[in-house]
Amino acid sequence: MDSDLFSGRRAERFAQLLDEANGGRRHHVRSRADGELTVLVEVGRRLTVERPTVDVDPEFRTGLRAMLVATAERESTAAASGAATGIRGALLPAITGRRARARGAILVGVAAGAIALSGISAASENALPGDALYGMKRSTERAQLALANSDISRGQLFLDFARTRLDEADSVRHDRLGFSAVLDDMDADTRQGVRLLTTVAAQRSDPTALDAVDTFLAGQRRVVSGLLDRPDHADRDRTRRSLALLDAVGRRADALRETIACGLPAPAGSDSLGPTPTGCPGDR
């Protein structure tokens, strides 16, 4: 999501799409941002239709209110400072007013959305594929990734999501397509997480980031192996592919540790699992 998502024009278009989704009149226009905004509109629709009965922590409300008040004070200070510089013009009051209203609307939306999402996130935490709140569960995961402050944090989150997908796999044991789809998502999360962590390890010449990969492999291999007892031959084959990926991850982590121990520079090549080490000179 780009930083310009809530520019004035996009905010106006977002409001139009929300009106239409709630039965308002259709606006016969289209925007290049519609693809991104439609996702947020769907979140808004779910907040309305699937409102959970979850109480929001009072400390969260207090903290959110303090944040919004502080933001409002900064905006007011900035507006006063701008006026003091002597900027004049017939359009300035109107522009300033529109911007203030847009920012105010966004702050209100963020506040309401944050409060509602905190409840929905809790309600959707145990949702399974096919449940009404499963989409919200996955949206919450994407939000966590967006808020992560480092590649290590994002890598660890992806591996956590891979564990979650594995927990979900058993819930769709009677649905071959569903089982395969969940494992596809699990493998995708595994690759993303491993790639981030191995890249950090190679760039820093520090194997510490690989510890999270080793911990992940230890538990994940054991649980994935437990899926091999499924009676369906296709399911067992699909499970073996996930095990093969975990084996490849283990080999990559070991090879990268060896490369770092040799004091070699970060590998130039990479693939879906991150940097591709060539091994120490003495091993060739």
Residue 267 — very low, low, confident or very high, per pLDDT cuts 50/70/90?
confident
Average pLDDT value for the chain: 76
Residue 6 — very low, low, confident or very high, per pLDDT cuts 50/70/90?
very low
Q: What is the pLDDT of residues 21-64, one digit of tens each?
A: 655 566 566 776 677 777 776 776 665 555 555 555 555 555 55
pLDDT at 102: 53
DSSP states along 254-272: HHHHHHHHTTPPPPS-EET
Top pLDDT among 40 and 183 is at 183
Q: What is the pLDDT of residues 220-263, one digit of tens each?
A: 999 999 998 887 888 899 999 999 999 999 999 999 999 998 88
Mean local confidence (pLDDT), 64-87: 55
Q: Half-sphere exposure of 163 toward its Cβ, with a 13 Å CA cutoff?
A: 15
Helices 92-124, 34-49: inter-axial angle, 10-degree rounding: 60
Residue 194 CB burial class (10 angstroms; 0-12, 13-18, ≥19): buried
Mean local confidence (pLDDT), 100-110: 51
State how far the Cα of 164 lies from the Cα of 234, in Å rounded to an integer. Answer: 22
Q: Are 167 and 144 in contact (CB under 8 A)?
A: no
- Determine which helix (DSSP H) or strand (DSSP E) holds 218, and give its type and residue range: helix 210-225
pLDDT at 128: 81
Cβ-proximal residues to 222 (8 Å cutoff; 6+ apart), any chain: none
Tokens of 50: 């699937």
State how far the Cα of 47 lies from the Cα of 49, in Å rounded to an integer. Answer: 6
Look at strands 270-271 and 274-275 and give their pairing. Answer: antiparallel
Cβ-proximal residues to 21 (8 Å cutoff; 6+ apart), any chain: 41, 44, 45
Res. 111: pLDDT tops 50: no
Q: How far is CA 150 from CA 37, 59, 213, 271, 273, in A?
A: 26, 26, 16, 21, 18
State how far the Cα of 133 lies from the Cα of 203, in Å rounded to an integer. Answer: 39
* Locus of tokens 């091993």: 283
Tokens of 108: 């209100």
Phi and psi at 271, nearest 5°, equal: -145, -160
Top pLDDT among 66 and 167 is at 167
pLDDT at 176: 77
